Amino acid sequence: MRKTWLVALTEYSNAVRSKAFITGVLALPVLICLSVGLQYFGQKNVDIRERRFAVVDRTGVLFPVIAAKAAERNEKFVTQRGADGRSVQTSPKFLPELFDPAGTGGGNADVVLSERVRREELTGFVIINTNALSADGGAEDGMSWFTQTHTYSELPDWLERTINEEIRRMRFEKAGLDQALVRKLTRNVPIKRLGLSKVDAATGRVVKAKEMNRFATFAVPAGCVFLLYMMVMSATPVLLNTVLEEKMQKISEVLLSAVTPFQLMMGKLLGATMVSFTLSALYLGCISGMLWKMGVLNLVPPTLIPWFVFFQLLSLLIFGSIFLAIGSVCSEIRDAQSFMFPVMMLVMLPFFVFMPIMQSPGSSFARWFSLFPPATPMLLLLRIAIPPGPPWWEIALGVALTTLFMFGCVWAGAKIFRIGILAQGQAPSFGKLLAWIFSK
C-alpha cells in the first residue's frame, strides 16, 4: 500500500504542477467569462445599418400600415437612453418602400427586386398576396419574404408580426367586433408552477406549496451532470497519455522493477482521483460562493454534494481503469485512437439521452438508461437532482450495479495492464484483450 500511495502522490504532484492542470482549473471560468463577455460585446455591437426593403402589396391596403408602424418603431424603439443619459441606437431602422409591379415594364417583380437585393440596395422584399386579408385563405393566400441573408430574422419576424396584427384587426373590424372586447376575451391566463402542499406533522397546519424555481429544476441538475462530466474528462483520458508516454520512454520498466503492475495501476488511478477531487473542490467552492452571493444557494439540496462525490468516485474508477488499460496495450498514440472511440461513446452516452430524461425523469426510458452502469453515475445523479427524485430501490439498484461494474472494470483493467505494460509492437485485438482478462 505504501508504494501505491507513493505512486499516487507522485502522479498527483506531477499533475497539479503541470500547465494542463492550471489550464483545466481555468478552463470553465474562462469559458463562462468568454461566453458572457462575447454575448455582451455582441449586444453592444449590433449591426445598426438601415434595413431597406420593398413591399409588393397585392391587397392594396397594407403598405400604409407597414410604413406607419416602421416609422413608429424607428422613432420609439430603435434608440435607447444609455447610462450617461445620451441616446444610443441599439437596433437598425426599417425603411420600407412600395414596389409597383406595373412599373417594371412587363418584367417579373420578384426577378427585378431580386436583382436589387443582389446589388445590396435592399435587404429583401416581401410579397403580400391578394387573399391575405381573407379569413378563408385560398389560392393566393399568405406572404413571401425573399432575401439572400436568411440568418437575419429580425426584419421578417417584425414584418410577420406587424402585418398579421393588422390583418387580424381588419378581419375583426369587417366582422363588426369591438377590438377592445376582443382583446379582453382573448387574454392569456398565466399558469403558476408550484410544488406540493403538505400538512406539517408537528403543528397540523397546511404548508402551502412553494413556487418552483427554474434554477432549481433545470440549472441545478444540468449543472451537476455537466460538472461531473468535466471532472471525469479532465482526469481520466490523461491517464492513457501518461501510461503510453511512460511505456514509450521505458519509464514503466524502471517502475516495475520496484512495484507490481497492480500497485502501479492503482497508484495512477488514485493519483487521478485526487486530481479530479481537487478540481471539483475548487469548482464546487467557487460555484457555491457565487450562488451564495446571488442568494440562490438554498435552492441546491445539500444531499446532492455527497451524491456528486460518490458518483464522481465511481466514474473515475470505471473510466480511469479503462483508459489505463488502453494506454498500457498501445505503443503509439495512433493505436490508442481505435480503442478510444467506443469508450468515448460510453462517456458521452448520458448527453445523448439527457434531454428526454430531463423532460421525463420518471419514465421507463429514464429508469433503464440510468441503470446502465457506465451511464449510471451521470444519469442517476441527474434524476436525483430533479425533485422528487427516483424511488429508493432504483437508487439502490443503480448504486449496486455500478459498484459491481466498477470492481469489474478495475479487475479487468489490472489484468490487461499487467500484460500490456511490457508488451511491444502492434496493439492487440479486442479478442486478445479478452483472452488477457481471463488468463491466469
Partner 1 sequence: MSSESNTGARSLAVKLANVTKTFGRHTAVNDLSLAVPAGSVYGFIGPNGSGKTTTLRMILHIFHPDHGEIEVLGERSTRAANDRIGYLPEERGLYKKMTVRRVLAYYAALKGMNSRDAREAIGHWLAKLGLEQWANHKVEALSKGMAQKIQFISAVIANPQLLILDEPFTGLDPVNLEVLRSAILEQRRQGATVIFSTHDMTMAEQMCDFVFMIYKGRKVLDGTLAAIQSSYGADTVRLRVEGGAEALRGMEGVQIVRDLNQCQEVRCAGDPQDLLKTLAARTRVHLFEAARPSLHDIFIRIAAPAPGEASHA
The residue among 6 and 395 lying less far from partner 1, judged by its C-beta, is: 6
Tell me how far, at minimum, the Cβ of 261 lies from partner 1, in Å.
Answer: 9
Tell me how far, at minimum, the Cβ of 196 lies from partner 1, in Å.
Answer: 56
CA atoms 385, 386, 392, 395: torsion sign: negative
The DSSP 8-state label assigned to residue 167 in this structure reads: H
Tell me how far, at minimum, the Cβ of 434 lies from partner 1, in Å.
Answer: 16
Tell me how far, at minimum, the Cβ of 328 lies from partner 1, in Å.
Answer: 14
- Which among 14, 33, 15 is positioned nearest to 290, based on CA atoms? 33
Q: Report d(CA 261, CA 419) in Å as an integer.
A: 9
Cell of 52: 431597406
The residue among 263 and 280 lying less far from partner 1, judged by its C-beta, is: 263
Burial class of residue 349, CB neighbours in 10 A (0-12, 13-18, 19+): middle
The owner of cell 446502465 is 372
Tell me how far, at minimum, the Cβ of 325 lies from partner 1, in Å.
Answer: 18
Tell me how far, at minimum, the Cβ of 280 lies from partner 1, in Å.
Answer: 24
**Residues found near partner 1 in the complex (CB under 8 A):** 3, 6-7, 10, 14, 18, 246, 249-260, 422
Q: Report d(CA 389, CA 395) in Å as an integer.
A: 9
Tell me how far, at minimum, the Cβ of 259 lies from partner 1, in Å.
Answer: 6
* Sequential DSSP letters for 213-227: -HIIIIIHHHHHHHH
The residue among 347 and 416 lying less far from partner 1, judged by its C-beta, is: 416
The residue among 192 and 250 lying less far from partner 1, judged by its C-beta, is: 250
The residue among 250 and 334 lying less far from partner 1, judged by its C-beta, is: 250
The residue among 261 and 398 lying less far from partner 1, judged by its C-beta, is: 261
- Which among 227, 157, 240 is positioned nearest to 382, based on CA atoms? 227
Q: How would you write 349-387 as a 3-class SS string?
A: HHHHCHHHHHHCCCCHHHHHHHCCCCCHHHHHHHHHHCC
The residue among 59 and 328 lying less far from partner 1, judged by its C-beta, is: 328
Task: Report which residue type is found at 150.
Answer: H
